[in-house]
């Protein structure tokens, strides 16, 4: 898994400094989603600022995406390809991606006639996954 991330990174970011490589390797070891704080806590040899900067870099490169959990905490996870959103289970914390977003059209409609240029949107969907009693039809 580290090699997959490294390959995706190499294609987009070019060379990484040694400390950033430590952060990338730690990201590759994560299962599911994680917070920047937890990652930084596990990497005492790397400065917090470096951890945060590298996460930002990985996010901008499309390797990671940010997920706003229902409790307001911001988590990171390996990103699926392209524009997508997340189905977040509030019981077990499992996150699933979904694409086929139709928000852009709605937002463009909302912004119509207002002095506002839309540059993006953020949407998370909270609920229960199948394993937590969610209704899978
Ligand atoms: Zn995502
Ligand atoms: Zn669940
Ligand atoms: Zn969208």
Q: What does pTM read for this prediction?
A: 0.82
Residues 117 and 26: their CA atoms lie apart, in Å, by: 38
Quote the ligand 3 centre to 122 CA distance (angstroms): 7
Sequence ranges of the domains in the chain? 1-79, 82-131
Alpha-carbon span 68 to 45, nearest angstrom: 27
Q: 124 alpha carbon to ligand 3 midpoint, in Å?
A: 9
pLDDT at 135: 75
State the residue for tokens 């993006």: 120
The tens place of each residue's pLDDT in the chain, 137 residues long, gives 456 666 666 666 667 788 888 998 899 888 889 999 999 999 999 999 999 999 999 998 888 999 999 999 999 999 888 899 999 999 999 999 999 888 888 888 888 889 888 888 999 999 999 999 887 65
Q: Which ligand is nearest to the CA of 92?
A: 2
45 Cβ contact partners less than 8 Å away, ≥ 6 residues apart: 22
Cα atoms found within 13 Å of the Cα of residue 112, Cβ hemisphere only = 7
Residue 119 alpha carbon to ligand 3 centre in Å? 11
CB 111 within 8 A of CB 73: no
CATH class of 82-131: alpha beta
Residue 16 Cα to ligand 3 midpoint, Å, equals 30
Q: Indicate the class that CATH gives domain 1-79.
A: mainly alpha
Taking the centre of ligand 3 as the mean of its atom positions, its distance from the CA of residue 93, in whole angstroms, is 21
List, as ranges, residues with CB under 5 A of the ion ligand 2.
89, 91-92, 94, 129, 132
Closest ligand to C-alpha of residue 118 is 3
């Amino acid at each position: 898994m580290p090699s997959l991330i490294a390959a995706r990174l190499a294609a987009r970011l070019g060379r990484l400094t040694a400390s950033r490589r430590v952060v990338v390797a730690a990201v590759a070891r994560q299962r599911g989603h994680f917070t920047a704080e937890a990652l930084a806590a596990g990497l005492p040899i790397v400065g917090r600022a470096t951890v945060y900067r590298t996460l930002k870099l990985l996010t901008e490169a499309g390797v990671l995406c940010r997920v706003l959990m229902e409790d307001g905490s911001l988590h990171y996870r390996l990103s699926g390809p392209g524009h997508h959103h997340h189905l977040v289970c509030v019981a077990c914390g499992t996150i699933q991606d979904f694409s086929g977003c139709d928000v852009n059209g709605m937002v463009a409609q909302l912004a119509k006639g207002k002095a506002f240029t839309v540059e993006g949107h953020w949407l998370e969907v909270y609920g229960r996954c199948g394993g937590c009693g969610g209704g899978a039809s």
